[in-house]
Amino acid sequence: MRRKVLIVTTVSGFLYQFEKNAVEIWKEKGASLHYASNFQIKAYEFEAEFFEKNEIVCHPLTIEKSPYRIGRNMQALKELIRIIREEKIDIVHCHNPMGGVLGRLAAHLSGREVHVIYTAHGFHFYKGAPLKNWLLYYPAEKFLAKYTDTLITINQEDKNIAETFHLK
């Protein structure tokens, strides 16, 4: 059976810019790839040819980078739940803080048995970070860990903190 993988980010060019190797690995494993992002935010180059060549199905989201854009992010959450259900997604691989929050919540709320991978590209709470970062992001990550099967970190400090979380 061909697995369906949904990759979730907040900015559309992220997949092409940073995740080409992940796309190659998923394709080698025979996965069908779906990509949900805000295609209106063009922080990085978007290569339509790359998506066509790799048969990546794109799903536009209203997702915003700011956690304070609650209305738009709640809409994005509903959109993600719908995508996971309708496309019968097996694996959600989410990136960026809001992509990680909404991707994990959507996988849980979809009612489907979904394996969830979150790549934390640097926690916003770290030694020397502002107190507000610790008050906002640390409790959120600790809570969302229970909806996460695999948590990938990129540095030792994040790894040490992540090891204290209780993953699904």
Give the angle 146-147-148 at the CA atoms, nearest 5°.
Answer: 95
Distance CA 40, CA 32 (A): 24
Could you report the per-residue pLDDT of 72-103, keeping only the tens digit for each?
A: 999 999 999 999 999 999 999 999 889 999 99
CB 77 within 8 A of CB 100: no
Q: Which two tokens mark 1?
A: 């059976």
Place of tokens 């992540």: 162
CB 63 within 8 A of CB 95: no
Indicate the residue type of 154.
I
> What pLDDT does 20 receive?
87
Confidence check: pLDDT of 116 > 90 = yes
Burial (CB count <10 Å: 0-12, 13-18, 19+), residue 104: buried
SS3 125: coil
> What pLDDT does 161 receive?
95
> What pLDDT does 63 receive?
95
Confidence check: pLDDT of 44 > 80 = no
Q: What is the mean pLDDT of the chain?
A: 93
